[in-house]
Structures are given as C-alpha cells and as structure tokens.
A = this chain, B = another copy of it.
Amino acid sequence: MTAPSSPAPAPSASRIPALNWHAAHRTSIQLRFADVDAMGHVNNARYAEFLEVARMDMSAATGIQGDDDHSMLARLELDYVHEIRLGQTVFIESLVERVGRTSWTVAARFVADNVPCAFARSVQVRVNADHIPEPLPERFHDLVRPLLARLDVPSEKTP
C-alpha cells in the first residue's frame, strides 16, 4: 500500500474545487488567541469548530435550524491549503453539495484575507432524540435549493 515514489501533494489550487462560491452562504469567524498553536497558525482541530459555527449560521439563515439541532456529523474532510494566522479576516462560504434521505453534504471554503485557504466537506445526518437517523423533511430540499453547489465552469467566449 506504500508507494515510496508517489508524487508530492497536488498543487494547492486543485484542492479547493471551483464551485459557485458566489452563491454560497457566508459566515464570519472570530479568531481567538487560543485557536493558534505552537506552529503560530490556527490549529487544525479548530477548523472543525469553525465549521460548526458556519453550519449553525447557515441553518438559521435557511430556516432548517430546527433540523440542525438534531443532527450529527457522520464524515468530515478537510484540506488545509494555506495557513490561517491571527489578525486575518476569516470567512467560511458554504454550499449544499448533496441532499440524501437522512443526510446532507455541505461543501465549505475557508477564506482568510480574501485568499481561499482551506476546503471542507461535511456529511451531516438528521437524528431523533435518541441519535437514530431519521428522514429529512420534504421542505428541506426547497430550503437549501438556493445554496446548491455546482461546478463553476468558466464560460467559453465566442469570437
């Protein structure tokens, strides 16, 4: 399974997909001194805390707040492309990539001082009070429609 000659990680740009970020829900993140670790940058675990802030903010804005109150994270992917440092202005842009029967996927982009610096994909599962998955309500699809992700292919120019 080990490939000693495997290439270095792909260039940063390709690790943050070109989605319709202009349509994304936008959440400002207040950095804390305690977010920064001994490397002098925001610790990787804190990105997951920031994502919770963004998910709750998006849930409130779309009207799916009640749902989010009873949801659990099933999977998290994080690509750290550029460091985030104290003093930077940080936003998270969130799009809904997929809506399933009991779960949905959020694609999020971290932007620090206007530079995209990280990408995250979170799979959230709706659960009941006993933390058992349950179907998303019908209206869920309507509520998140304005935030649906799509690949942002540059339009070809005609001569």
Contact = CB atoms under 8 A, between A and B. Distances in A.
Contact of A83 (B48, B131, B151): B131
A110 to B, nearest CB: 13
A121 to B, nearest CB: 9
Number of copies of this kind of chain in the complex: 4
**Interface centre among A32, A53, A131, A148, by most B CB within 10 Å?**
A32
Contacts of A102: 8-9
A-B residue pairs, 9 tightest by C-beta: A45-B48, A30-B30, A33-B52, A6-B100, A34-B49, A36-B38, A76-B78, A44-B73, A45-B49
Interface of A: 1-9, 15, 28-30, 32-34, 36-41, 43-50, 52-53, 56, 72-80, 83, 86, 96-103, 123, 125, 131, 133, 141, 148-151
